Copies of this chain bind each other. A is one copy, B any other.
Amino acid sequence: MLVADNATAPTYTIGECARRSGFTMDTLRYYERIGLIDDVRRTATGQRRFTDGDLEWLGTLKCLRDTGMPVEQMARFADLVREGDHTIPERIRLLEAHRVAVDERMADLAAKRDYISGKIDYYRSV
């Protein structure tokens, strides 16, 4: 559930963040550990409290991960973001290269989907 510090800055426990981001709690901790997520804010007793900003970033990570970007390259992207605005050109290059990879993957899937359809048609004709 939502845990509010004040009216304008909602925060989320790791469980709630998992539910909202689509990552498991373990994956969220793992991503923080390897530097994919900046150190998350903590309560006085050490529990994580994710912000909407964290969730937005997690959305980007989810997109990159689900389109097949390796963790190492996501980490590189995270580093670029941390380094500041002067890395934006490189971020664009990285994303463009990834988009090309996604396009190729989709084209390959489309071709192979047709092959499967052909196989199905063949089986239907027997």
Contacts and interface: CB of A to CB of B under 8 A. Distances in A.
Interface of A: 60, 63-64, 66-67, 85, 88, 91-92, 95-96, 98-99, 102-103, 105-106, 108-110, 112-113, 115-117, 119-120, 123-124, 126
A113 B68 CA distance: 11
A115 B63 contact: yes
A63 B116 contact: yes
A91 B119 CA distance: 10
A85 B26 CA distance: 46
A23 to B, nearest CB: 15
B67 A112 contact: yes
Nearest to A60: B119
Given A85-B126, A126-B88, A95 B120 contact: yes
Given A85-B126, A120-B92, A120-B95, A66 B102 contact: no
B60 A92 contact: no
A99 B117 contact: yes
A86 to B, nearest CB: 11
Contacts of A64: 116
